[in-house]
Amino acid sequence: MTNATKTTTPVIDDRNSWRWGFTPQAEVWNGRLAMIGFLAAALIELFSGQGFLHFWGIL
């Protein structure tokens, strides 16, 4: 008698790969870039003594 159960290995996507569209990888990169942007804005305010928009001359 043969074994009727099938075993398949799950497809594991690399979370650091660059994928376009609404994929988990794109959301990971979106979050990383948002954190870098927030940190850059906070450092500009810390070192210049002005707000981000004042630093760039928008306000």
For residues 35 and 33, what is the distance between their CA atoms, to the nearest angstrom? Answer: 5
For residues 44 and 50, what is the distance between their CA atoms, to the nearest angstrom? Answer: 8
Instruction: List, for residues 14-43, the tens digit of each pLDDT value.
Output: 777 777 788 888 888 999 999 999 999 999
Residue 47 lies in a domain: yes
Q: How many domains does the chain have?
A: 1
Residue 6 lies in a domain: no
Structural domain range at position 51 = 24-55
User: In degrees rounded to 5, what are phi and psi of residue 58?
Assistant: -80, -35
Total-model pTM: 0.62
Residue 37 · residue 47 · CB < 8 Å: no
Cα torsion through 52, 54, 58, 59, rounded to 10: 130
Query: Per-residue pLDDT averaged across 3-12, rounded?
Result: 67
Residue 30 lies in a domain: yes
For residues 31 and 37, what is the distance between their CA atoms, to the nearest angstrom? Answer: 10
Instruction: List, for residues 42-59, the tens digit of each pLDDT value.
Output: 998 899 888 878 887 888
